[in-house]
């Protein structure tokens, strides 16, 4: 079932002030299965050691994809940070699946290929790992070779290509310096690290990737894990040789996601270094970029974009607004990447942070968490096509 902006269950369509707007109006999918953690499995003394973790069912989503109507989300489950997935065939009801019980294992990105299966990537403790699945529920773990020479390596992004998969991430100690890494795979099972390019990969971490024209485009951040200093982009024709673009448009920015835009070229979204403005970047070819401010509250509150998806001829970006301790999810819609409409502040979005978005159900599906910064209740929101439902 779907709870609309007023918090009630969806009624039959009736007369109302206006139809819901795709990408700007959201309802909550209430059939999200929670993982059995915290109070259900832990001893009474647990809360003395972990007072913030107050109730069961918490988890943190990281990414979501849609393969011919099958929706698959991945994330991790505290307190041990074990990997999990959620699947749905209708966007309303989501089943939880434990991927495995290994602590400090983080699936970060998921995609689907032409073979009909799913591939997820991330890290296990200090090593990059990948998973494959035919249905999004049962997963097989695959070790990923590394170049070595650093304390840790990790996968952050993955994209399906005509010849297999390409993943991107970084090497370097947790919380400190970063150096970009890339991997290629014909099937999501066997992976090969791309030889290091000291200049092209320096001081950077890959955050998102997409295919475009006859190649691949990737974006990332500069600086260490705690203090970003800017953003960067790369292009490649084969996933193994990469050309770096240090564009002036990326100065002072943090790029979170990139897609092929339905209106042509590439679109990336993110924020500025202080998370005060929601930013978008446009490129006709992945080499030359221009920056657009999609939203800016000045010093009144923080505002940032986390992901973007194409739905029909438009794009929907999702993110978060935060004036004080509690966040509030928000979204934007654009038909050209230059002009953006932002969602109104709705009660249903309060204390929610939007983390990822994909097309489906029949508009878009956004993953979030409710209750931050103290809690992380897995939350899934839907935005229907205009006129499909009526606003309460």
Q: For 322, list phi and psi in degrees, rounded to 5.
A: -145, 115
Length of the chain: 392
Retrieve residue 9's tokens. 């269950």
In angstroms, the CA 356 to CA 367 distance is: 5
Q: How buried is residue 19: exposed, middle or buried, by Cβ count under 10 Å (0-12/13-18/19+)?
A: middle
Q: For 38, list phi and psi in degrees, rounded to 5.
A: 60, -120
Beta strands in 246-373 (DSSP E): 253-260, 266-272, 277-283, 290-296, 302-311, 314-322, 327-334, 341-342, 352-359, 364-370
pLDDT value at residue 385: 59
CATH-assigned architecture of domain 58-78+98-350 = 6 Propeller (2.120)
| Sign (positive or negative) of CA dihedral 225, 322, 157, 168 | negative
pLDDT value at residue 231: 97
Divide the 392 residues of the chain into consecutive groups of 10 and give the mean pLDDT of each group.
43 58 90 78 55 72 94 94 96 95 97 90 97 97 93 96 96 90 97 97 98 95 92 97 97 97 97 95 96 88 95 96 87 97 91 95 90 86 60 32
In angstroms, the CA 34 to CA 184 distance is: 34
pLDDT value at residue 6: 38
Retrieve residue 14's tokens. 């009736």
* Neighbouring C-beta atoms of residue 123, cutoff 10 Å: 21
Q: 68: closest CA among 100, 113, 107?
A: 113
In angstroms, the CA 305 to CA 276 distance is: 11
What is the secondary structure of 91-145 as a DSSP string?
A: SSEEEEEE----SSEEEEEEEE-TTS-EEEEEEETTEEEEEEESSSSS-EEEE--
pLDDT value at residue 261: 97
């Amino acid at each position: 079932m779907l709870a609309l902006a007023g918090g009630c269950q969806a009624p039959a369509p009736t007369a109302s002030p206006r139809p819901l707007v795709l990408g700007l109006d959201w309802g909550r999918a209430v059939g999200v299965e929670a993982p059995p953690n915290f109070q259900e499995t832990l001893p009474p003394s647990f809360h003395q050691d972990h007072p913030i973790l107050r109730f069961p069912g918490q988890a943190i989503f990281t990414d979501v994809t849609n393969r011919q109507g099958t929706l698959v989300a991945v994330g991790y489950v505290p307190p041990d940070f074990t990997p999990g997935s959620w699947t749905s065939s209708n966007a309303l009801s989501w089943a939880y699946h434990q991927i495995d019980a290994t602590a400090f294992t983080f699936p970060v990105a998921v995609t689907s290929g032409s073979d009909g299966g799913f591939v997820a990537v991330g890290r296990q403790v200090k090593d990059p790992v990948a998973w494959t699945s035919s249905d999004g529920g049962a997963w097989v773990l695959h070790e990923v070779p590394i170049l070595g020479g650093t304390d840790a390596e990790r996968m952050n992004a993955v994209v399906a290509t005509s010849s297999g998969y390409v993943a991107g991430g970084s090497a370097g100690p947790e919380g400190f310096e970063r150096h970009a890494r890339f991997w290629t795979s014909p099937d999501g099972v066997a992976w090969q690290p791309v030889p290091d390019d000291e200049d092209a990969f320096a001081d950077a971490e890959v955050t998102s990737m997409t295919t475009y024209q006859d190649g691949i485009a990737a974006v990332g951040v500069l600086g260490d894990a705690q203090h970003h200093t800017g953003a960067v982009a790369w292009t490649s024709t084969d996933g193994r040789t990469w050309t770096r673009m240090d564009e002036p448009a990326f100065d002072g920015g943090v790029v979170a996601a990139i897609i092929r835009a339905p209106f042509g070229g590439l679109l990336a979204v993110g924020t500025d270094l202080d998370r005060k403005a929601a930013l978008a970047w446009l490129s006709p070819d992945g080499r030359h970029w221009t920056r657009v401010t999609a939203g800016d509250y000045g010093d009144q509150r923080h505002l940032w974009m986390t992901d973007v998806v194409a739905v029909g001829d438009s794009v929907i970006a999702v993110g978060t607004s935060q004036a004080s301790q509690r966040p509030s999810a928000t979204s934007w819609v654009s038909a050209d990447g230059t002009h953006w409409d932002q969602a109104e502040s709705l009660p249903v979005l309060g204390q929610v942070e939007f983390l990822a978005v994909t097309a489906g159900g029949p508009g878009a599906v956004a993953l979030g968490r409710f209750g931050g910064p103290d809690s992380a209740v897995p939350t899934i929101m839907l935005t229907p096509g205009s006129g499909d439902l009526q606003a309460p």
